[in-house]
Structure 1
Amino acid sequence: MKILLPDTVDLDPELPEGWEAVVVDAREEIPAEHHDAEVLVVWGASRRHLASAAEHLSGLRCIQSLSAGVDGILAAGFAPEVAIATGAGLHSLTVSEHALALLLSLVRRLPECREAQKRHEWSSELGGLQPLRPEGRLTTLLGARVLIWGFGQIGQTLAPTLQALGAEVRGAARSAGTRAGIEVIAEETVPSALPEVDVLINILPATEQTAGIVGREVLAALPDHALLVNVGRGATVDQTALREALEAGALGGAAIDVTDPEPLPREDPLWDAPGLLITPHAAGGRPVGADERITRNLRALVEGEELLHVAAR
C-alpha cells in the first residue's frame, strides 16, 4: 500500500505496517508507476498535479491536505468516495503569530517608523511623550475592542494573546455562544456590532457567501480610527472599497496578508493605498504538526475509524 508525499515540505510520518511512502513532484503529473497509491498528501500542489491524481489514482481512498482550505482539491474532480481531510489547525500558531505582528505594526506605527529611518529622521511625532489614547487614532491594545470574524481554530489561538495584551476580544461565527472562553456573536449581528469595534480581524474562508463581504457597508460601519487585519482569504475583501476607505481617511489603517488575485499585480493601485501594510501570503506556509496529522489519519483509515477534519462535499 502506498502513500504519496509532496516534495514541497519535508515529511516523515509513521506508517502502518505494509505501507510505503513515495515523494513526488507536487507541480507535475503523478508518474504512472505510482497510480496505485491509496493516499495522497497535498501541499502546494499545482492544478496539473491534482488533475493527474483525480484522473489516474483509481484506487485512491483519502487525500490529506496540509492546508485548511481545500477549494482546489474539491474543484479537481475526485470521485465522491475519496475522503478529503483538511489541514485545519496546522496553521493556527503561525497565522496567529503573523496576525499579531501585522496588528502591532499598525498600532505601533512601525511602517511609518521605517520610513522615518530611511530619511534618517528622529520623529517627535512617532516617539517621545505620547498620549495613551489620542483622538482619532488607535495606539494601544489596552482596552481595544477586537472582533475576530471567522472564529475557528486560528481565532481561538489568537484571542488569548490579544487578551493578555489588554484587548477586549469577541468572535463572530455562524452561531452565537462561547468558544474557548470567548464570547462569540452570530455573523448576522456583525453589522450592528461594527460601530463599537476598534480592530476587525478577518479570518474568513473564501466561499460564495463570503465573497467581498468586507465591503463598503462593513468598512463604513467601522469607526474612522478602526484597523482592519486580513489573514483569511483575499476574495473576502472588496479591495476597491478598502483602498477608497483608506484614501478618504475613513479607516485608521489596514494590514493584509492575502489579496485577490495573488500575486497582486504590480500595477494594482492597492499597493499605494495610504496606511496599508501588505505581506505576500506569509502568515502560513509552514504546517505545524503535519507528520502527526498524517500519521493519525492514515492509522484511522487503516483501522476504519473516523478521520480528523474531513471536508464536506
Structure 2
Amino acid sequence: MRKILLPDTLTDTPALPAGWEAAVIDARAEIPAEHRDAELLVVWGASRAHLASAARDLPRLRLVQSLAAGIEGILAAGFRDDVEIRSGAGLHSPTVTEHTIGLLLALVRSLPESLEAQHRGQWASHLGGLRELHPEGQLTTLLGARVLIWGFGDIGRTLAPILAALGAQVRGAARTAGERGGFEVIATEDVPSALPDTDVLIDILPATEQTRHAVDAAVLAALPDHALVVNVGRGATLDQDALRAALEAGTIGGAALDVTDPEPLPEGDPLWSAPRLIITPHAAGGRPVGAAARIEEALRDLDGAPPATEA
C-alpha cells in the first residue's frame, strides 16, 4: 500500500484511490517512525518541528500539498529538490473575501463608532439621519468608491466582482499588467501613480523580500486623507509604524488588519490603541474550502506514477 499523511487539523476526508492508505498524524509533532514511508504529505497548521521532520525523515516523499495559500514555511524547511510542493491557493478565496467585505463595510459604515456609542448607551445622531452620499473628505459608501486590490491573485479575482456589485470601481495591481476576470490590472511599478485616485487600498500581497513593507509611509502619504487601507495578505507587507503614524495624524481615513507582524500582536503594542483601526486575529481564512478535492487531485497525479523508492 502507498501512503498519504493527513494532519489531525483537517476536517475533510478525501477519497483514496485503490492501493492507497491514509494515516492521520499530529500536525505539531515530528513524523512517527512507522509513517516514514509516506509519498504524499498534507500540511495544514504544521509546526516548524513537523515540517523539519518531514523534510528530514520522509525519504520516499514525492509531493507536499499545503492547504494554506502561503508556502514560505514549507520552502524554508529544506525539502529535497525532487519533492513537489503545491500551495492551497484558491481554497481560502471565499472566506477571505467574506472577511474583507466585512472589514471594509465596517469601516465605511462606521460600525465601530456605533458599537462604542451603544456600549455607552448613547444614540450617535451624527452617524445617522439625513446625510450626504459623498461628503467631502470622507468615504461613507462603496458606491463609486475607487478600489485598488494590490496582489490580484485568486482572492482578488473572487473579491473584485463582489465589490463591483456593491458599486465600487475596482482594479488590481500585480507584477504584470493586463486584464484578469474582466478587471483592469496595473503593474506594480504603476501603483504609486494610481494611489492619489484610490479610495480603498486592499493589500493581499504575499510575504517576500520584495514585498516587505510594500505599503510604507510613502504609499500611505500618496493616498487621499479619506482613504481606507485593508490588509488581509501578510503582516510583513505593511509598515505598521507608518500606519499608526498616519492614523494618528489623520492622513488616512481608517484601516483594518487581519494580519500583523508579528502574530499574535503583542500585548501593549501601540498599534492596539491607534484610532480608526480594526484588528482581527488572522481570522479571514482558517477554513480551506474544497480541501478534500484538492488532496484527491494530488493523489490522482501520484497514482499514475510508480511507487517511490527511498532517496
The answer, yes or no, to whether TM exceeds 0.5 is yes
Q: TM-score range by the shorter chain?
A: over 0.9
Counterpart residue type for residue 82 of structure 2: E
Aligned partner of 1:177 in structure 2 is 178
Which amino acid counterpart does residue 102 of structure 2 have in structure 1? Answer: A
Deviation at 1:302, TM superposition (A): 1.9
Instruction: Say whether residues 1:221 and 2:222 are aligned partners.
Output: yes
CA-based RMSD of the aligned residues comes to 0.9
1:287 is aligned to 288
The TM-score normalised by the length of structure 2 is 0.97
Quote the residue 2:8 is aligned against.
Answer: 7
Q: What count of residue pairs does the alignment treat as equivalent?
A: 305
1:4–1:21 CA contact under 8 A, matched in 2? yes
Asked if 1:262 corresponds to 2:263, the answer is: yes
Deviation at 1:91, TM superposition (A): 0.3
Report the secondary structure of 1:195's partner residue.
Answer: helix
Matches of 1:255 and 1:180, distance apart in 2: 26
1:100 correspondence with 2:97: no
CA distance in 1, matches of 2:28, 2:70: 18
What secondary structure sits across from 2:213 in the alignment? coil
Q: Distance in 2 between matches of 1:105 and 1:9?
A: 31
Contact kept, 8 Å, 1:5 with 1:11, in 2: the verdict is no
Task: Describe the SS at the equivalent of 1:209.
Answer: coil
1:153-210 Cα distance to aligned partner (Å, 9 max, x none)? 1001000011011000000011111000001111100000000000000000000000
Shift of residue 297, structure 1, vs aligned partner = 1.5
* SS class of match (1:125): helix
Determine the C-alpha separation between the residues in 1 that align with 2:302 and 2:218. Answer: 46
Cα distance between partner residues in 2 of 1:111 and 1:93? 24
User: What amino acid is aligned across from residue 211 of structure 1 in structure 2?
Assistant: R
Task: Give, in whole Å, the separation in 2 of the partners of 1:284 and 1:70.
Answer: 15
Equivalent positions of 1:1-313 (< 5 A) are 1-304=2-305
Q: Note the C-alpha offset of 1:11.
A: 2.6
Q: TM-score, normalised by structure 1?
A: 0.96
Q: Distance in 1 between matches of 2:147 and 2:73?
A: 32
| Distance in 2 between residues matched to 1:162 and 1:267, nearest whole Å | 35
| CA shift digits 1:86-119 (9 cap, x unpaired) | 0010000000110000000000000111000000
Q: Which runs of no fewer than 5 residues in structure 2 stay unpaired?
A: 306-311
Deviations 1:57-100 (A, max 9, x none): 01100000000100010011111100001001000000011000
Matching residue's letter, 2:18? E
Percent identity, aligned pairs only, is: 71
